[in-house]
Amino acid sequence: MSPGDDARPLAVFDIDGVLADVSHRLHHLDRYRWDMFFAAAEADPLLDEGAERLRAAQEDHDVVYLTGRPERNRRLTQTWLARFGLPTGPLFMRSDDDRRPARYVKREVLRLLARERKVAMIIDDDPAVVRVLEADGWPVELATWLPHSSTLLDAQERQGRT
């Protein structure tokens, strides 16, 4: 038997751009005001399509959240998830001093998860993350319900911040 054969498979969801509508706070990234960008996350609207996908996945998967948000935003993120009634589940975040591109951070976490459980689905809004994970053979889908922002791409991939 391989790891996790007796457990439900995992459904891995990114938060920003998949569940949380970050468009109202992107202007903070123009001047690299990271504290303001993350503080404004508590006001993020819920993206209905992402929430619907998550709730559907919950029927036969265990939900895991994998975000590029830094660890110092854990409480804010957990509070936001609870406010919208999203299921509890493990929340994997970037360490505060990790500035690697999101695609490498997420790949590393997924490899660790796969040692213990089957990862059956991944939804992320970052095209660079999706390309790397697809090339590795992961079951990943690009979330397209919030148009991807070049400002956010720069934050995720070049600055290693979200």
Per CATH, the homologous superfamily of domain 10-158 is HAD superfamily/HAD-like (3.40.50.1000)
Q: 3-class DSSP state for residue 64?
A: strand
Domain locations along the chain: 10-158
Per-residue pLDDT of the chain (162 residues; tens, 9 = 90+): 355 567 999 999 999 999 999 999 888 877 767 888 888 999 999 999 999 999 999 999 999 999 999 999 999 999 999 999 999 999 999 999 998 999 999 999 999 999 999 999 999 999 999 999 999 999 999 999 987 665 565 655 555 555
Which pLDDT score is estimated for 32? Answer: 67
Which pLDDT score is estimated for 162? Answer: 56
- Predicted model pTM: 0.88
What is the C-alpha separation between 122 and 143, in angstroms, rounded? 10
Which pLDDT score is estimated for 149? Answer: 62
Beta strands in the chain (DSSP E): 10-13, 62-70, 91-94, 119-124, 140-142
Q: What is the DSSP letter of 140?
A: E
What is the C-alpha separation between 90 and 62, in angstroms, rounded? 9
Which pLDDT score is estimated for 104? Answer: 96
Question: What's at 56, amino acid-wise?
Answer: A
Q: 3-class DSSP state for residue 92?
A: strand
Q: What is the DSSP letter of 135?
A: H
Integer Rg of the chain from CA? 15
